[in-house]
């Protein structure tokens, strides 16, 4: 099936230079990393095909080979300036597996504590800074207001300050346990490097309490601004933002959402369980499809197969990240999050196929993360000094999985008997979502560009389609952007530029 | 004679030192750290993005940011200077989350104590997308000039009133 599909896409691409008109949106605003959307219009000015392209980091595997596996939590945390903690934790768990060692309960709790703190902080950032402009400011607001300053204009100065202060305080918890956020020195095979001193608990609990208040407040902001606005709700549930795919997420023993540990659960487009497996079996379930027009590999469910960029039961395309996690689970492990989860599904049905509902799901997860932080800090074992099991076995092969803010993250290492890496593979969250995201871009373009009529508001709605996934492409690079952030070129059928839109 | 305390200055290198040319800002501040002996100048490096810059820059009077840039319009190794007035015109989709322009707007809006003079010194780079250590030859060759220029800007920032 792959060859004909690929040929079809390639043909469409070639036609861009012939009879189609082309719109280029490049690069994407507010995304971590540069991206480009090419939209090809036919002679009627309708969308022929749309391609979402991003540069991808290269060379990770080569970089890793020959290095001690123990360095991986530090190395991998440095490949991303956005979610270092997710890579650090996935790598640490892969080392547990590699060295066949089980961390003591307190070590697992400390890891879960730092991890939920990171999730809360990162999700808050997306809600207010990255995705917030679409929903808090409004999808049709002028571009100049669709940014963090616009968000503050809407929610108020005090709330703006609260976001900054809260993030800073949450990061202090991460720093307390792991040192610098970007280069955490925390996870070790079999445990963690540092515990919590009992005398420091009150201050940490105070931050946790504020974090929970902040998460509740964020849910209220979302309800007040988004859920009371019929136009937003129509947009969330509209056809261009709907795909009936499979969904993947980590769950605990009772099939409730867990960010740090558990089994990977996959549900089908009806929300029925399709698979439940440990990280070790990921290669039985996840395969990668390659397209000539993209650097990105498209993950799909191996048992279902690749049938092109299409949804439904017969297509192996699946989603990860908040929307998918809630769909793939049967509930939340904390009371207020469970309540928010119930409200969410009562409003949108089960499973939720609306891409833009990711924003709401993200806030449900913020409540869970915040409650879990409180629970963990109230756990008497959290100050235990038994935080490391020293590995003694010969290393072989290790698998680690966590739920990054942007979805399921796999780390897989193979080493020689000295623990030197001979093979390394990462499947990052955004790659798991890449096929669905490509579909979202094309569908949004089809639904919102007709007869060659294109305006900036419409382009923003196309961007909204993938921004909801909170994608993170080429995440390690920090270079300043060298171009105007958003440029749309509209080409006449003969290839000449007839219109140019800039932000 | 003024009795005002000296201005607090930060020089901040941004980038990722295991991501090829992306690490140019980090490489530069690591050299500067060994050259500067001025209690008024803090030398910092960061691989973080976006809002982390708010936390790093808050509390300083003047700032110099060293970073890589990809314009595609000049050869790798070209040194580009910007002040914030120029920078604000580029409403950037930077990998730094919100981007420096939005960070600046945010700080102003939230009435944070933020540097009144922020300079950006960037070098056009060749490959910031590969995970590897070390700089490409053109960028490595331009590094001493980059550092020298940073030093003279810091001297200007220190001496300006």
For residue range B75-90, list pLDDT tens digits in order. 999 998 887 766 554 4
DSSP for A182-198, please give it. SS---EETTEES----G
Nearest-CA distance A122 → chain B (Å): 11
Q: In the prediction, which pLDDT does A2 show? A: 44
Distant-in-sequence contacts of A422-426, Cβ < 8 A, 24+ apart: A422/A65, A423/A61, A423/A65, A424/A60, A424/A61, A424/A64, A424/A65, A424/A72, A425/A61, A426/A60, A426/A76, A426/A87, A426/A90
Instruction: Give the residue from chain B lying closest to A172, CA to CA.
Output: B55
d(CA A159, CA A316): 42
Handedness of CA A216, A222, A228, A234 (dihedral sign): negative
Tens digit of each residue's pLDDT (9 = 90 or more) over A273-322: 999 999 999 999 999 998 877 767 899 999 999 999 999 999 999 999 99
Cβ separation of B132 and A59 shorter than 8 Å?
yes
Q: In the prediction, which pLDDT does A481 show? A: 38
Tens digit of each residue's pLDDT (9 = 90 or more) over A181-194: 667 789 999 999 99
Nearest-CA distance B2 → chain A (Å): 34
Cβ separation of A32 and B102 shorter than 8 Å?
no
CATH fold of B9-159, please?
Rossmann fold (3.40.50)
Instruction: Give the residue from chain B lying closest to A473, CA to CA.
Output: B95
The region of weakest confidence among A337-351, A370-384, B30-44 is: B30-44
A positions 87-126 inside 8 Å of B (CB): 125
Average confidence score pLDDT of chain B: 83
The region of weakest confidence among A145-154, A468-477, A494-503, B55-64 is: A494-503
Candidates A57, A81, A152; nearest CB to B129: A57
Q: Which helix (H) or strand (E) holds A407?
A: strand A407-415
Q: Is the pLDDT of residue B151 over 60?
A: yes
* Cα end-to-end distance, chain B, whole Å: 13
Q: In the prediction, which pLDDT does A411 show? A: 95
Tens digit of each residue's pLDDT (9 = 90 or more) over A438-458: 898 888 888 778 887 776 666
Task: Pick the more confident residue, A384 or A56.
Answer: A384
Cβ separation of A479 and B18 shorter than 8 Å?
no
> Which residue is it, tokens 């017969």?
A314
The region of weakest confidence among A3-12, A342-351, B94-103 is: A3-12
Nearest-CA distance B103 → chain A (Å): 8
Contact A71, A424 (CB under 8 A): no
Q: In the prediction, which pLDDT does B107 show? A: 83
Tens digit of each residue's pLDDT (9 = 90 or more) over A187-236: 999 999 999 999 999 999 999 999 999 999 999 999 998 888 888 889 89
Q: In the prediction, which pLDDT does A182 show? A: 65
Q: In the prediction, which pLDDT does A266 show? A: 98
pLDDT band at A339 (very low <50, low <70, confident <90, very high): very high
Candidates A78, A129, A479; nearest CB to B128: A479
Query: Chain B partners of A483 at a C-beta cutoff of 8 Å?
Result: 71-72
Q: Is the pLDDT of residue A159 over 90?
A: no
Q: Is the pLDDT of residue A413 over 90?
A: yes
Average confidence score pLDDT of chain A: 84
Tokens linked to B160: 């300006």
pLDDT band at A56 (very low <50, low <70, confident <90, very high): low
Query: Chain A partners of B128 at a C-beta cutoff of 8 Å?
Result: 477-479
A479 interfaces chain B, CB cutoff of 8 Å: yes
Beta-ladder partners of B67 = B122
A180 interfaces chain B, CB cutoff of 8 Å: no
Question: Can you tell me the mean pLDDT for A314-333?
Answer: 98
Handedness of CA A135, A137, A140, A144 (dihedral sign): negative
Contact A489, A23 (CB under 8 A): yes
Nearest-CA distance B160 → chain A (Å): 27
Candidates B72, B92, B131; nearest CB to A476: B131
pLDDT band at A474 (very low <50, low <70, confident <90, very high): very low
A48 interfaces chain B, CB cutoff of 8 Å: no
Tens digit of each residue's pLDDT (9 = 90 or more) over A109-158: 999 999 999 999 989 988 887 777 777 887 777 767 777 778 888 888 88
Instruction: Give the residue from chain A lying closest to B56, CA to CA.
Output: A168
d(CA A199, CA A215): 26
């Amino acid at each position: 099936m792959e060859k004909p599909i690929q040929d079809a896409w390639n043909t469409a691409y070639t036609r861009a230079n012939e009879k189609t008109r082309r719109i280029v949106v490049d690069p994407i605003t507010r995304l971590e990393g540069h991206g480009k959307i090419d939209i090809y219009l036919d002679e009627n000015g309708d969308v022929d095909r749309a391609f979402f392209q991003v540069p991808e980091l290269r060379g990770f595997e080569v970089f890793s080979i020959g290095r001690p596996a123990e360095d991986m939590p530090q190395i991998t945390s440095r490949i991303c300036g956005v979610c270092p903690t997710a890579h650090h934790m996935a790598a640490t768990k892969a080392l547990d597996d590699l060295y066949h060692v089980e961390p003591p309960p307190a070590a697992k709790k400390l890891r879960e504590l730092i991890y939920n703190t990171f999730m809360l902080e990162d999700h808050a950032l997306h809600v207010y800074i990255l995705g917030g402009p679409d929903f808090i400011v409004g999808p049709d607001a002028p571009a100049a207001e669709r940014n963090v300053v616009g968000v503050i204009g809407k929610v108020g100065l005090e709330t703006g300050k609260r976001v900054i202060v809260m993030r800073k305080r949450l990061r202090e918890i991460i720093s307390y346990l792991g040192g610098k956020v970007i280069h955490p020195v925390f996870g070790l095979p079999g445990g963690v490097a540092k515990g919590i001193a009992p005398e420091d608990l009150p201050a940490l609990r105070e931050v946790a309490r504020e974090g929970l208040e902040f998460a509740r407040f964020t849910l209220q902001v979302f309800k007040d601004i988004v859920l009371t606005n019929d136009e937003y709700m129509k947009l969330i549930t509209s056809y261009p933002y709907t795909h009936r795919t499979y969904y993947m997420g980590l769950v605990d023993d009772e099939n409730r959402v867990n960010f740090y540990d558990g089994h990977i659960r996959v549900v089908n487009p009806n929300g029925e369980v399709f698979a439940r497996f440990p990280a070790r079996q990921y290669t039985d379930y996840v395969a990668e499809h390659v397209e000539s027009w993209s650097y990105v590999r498209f993950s799909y469910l191996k048992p279902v197969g690749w049938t092109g960029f299409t949804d439904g039961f017969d297509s192996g395309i699946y989603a990860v990240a908040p929307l998918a996690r809630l769909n793939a689970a049967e509930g939340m492990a904390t009371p207020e999050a469970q309540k928010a989860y119930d409200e969410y599904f009562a409003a949108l049905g089960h499973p939720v196929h609306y891409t833009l509902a990711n924003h709401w799901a993200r806030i449900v997860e913020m409540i869970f993360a915040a409650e879990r932080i409180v629970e963990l800090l109230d756990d008497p074992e959290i100050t235990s000094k038994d935080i490391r099991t020293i590995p003694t076995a010969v290393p072989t092969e290790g698998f680690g999985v966590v739920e990054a803010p942007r979805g399921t993250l796999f780390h897989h290492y193979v080493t020689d008997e000295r623990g030197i890496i001979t093979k390394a593979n990462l499947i990052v969250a955004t790659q798991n979502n890449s096929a669905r995201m490509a579909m979202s871009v094309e569908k949004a373009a089809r639904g919102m560009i007709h007869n060659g009529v294109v305006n900036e508001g419409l382009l923003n709605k196309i961007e909204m389609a993938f921004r909801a996934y909170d994608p993170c492409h080429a995440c390690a690079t920090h270079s300043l952007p060298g171009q105007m952030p958003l440029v749309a070129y509209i080409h006449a059928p003969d290839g000449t530029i007839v219109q140019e839109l800039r932000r | 004679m003024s009795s005002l305390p000296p201005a607090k200055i930060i020089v901040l290198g941004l980038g990722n030192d295991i991501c090829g040319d992306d690490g140019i800002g980090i490489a530069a501040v690591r050299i500067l750290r060994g050259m500067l002996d001025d209690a008024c100048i803090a030398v910092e490096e960061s691989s973080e993005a976006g809002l982390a810059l708010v936390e790093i820059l808050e509390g300083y009077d003047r700032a110099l940011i060293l970073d890589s840039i990809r314009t595609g319009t000049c050869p790798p190794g070209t040194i580009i200077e910007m002040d914030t007035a120029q920078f604000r015109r580029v409403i950037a989709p930077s990998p730094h989350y919100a981007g420096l322009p939005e960070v600046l707007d945010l700080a102003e809006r939230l009435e944070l104590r933020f540097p009144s003079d922020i300079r950006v010194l960037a070098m056009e780079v060749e490959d910031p997308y590969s995970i590897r250590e070390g700089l490409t030859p053109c960028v490595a060759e331009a590094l001493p000039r980059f550092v020298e220029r940073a030093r003279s800007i810091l001297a200007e920032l220190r001496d300006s009133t």
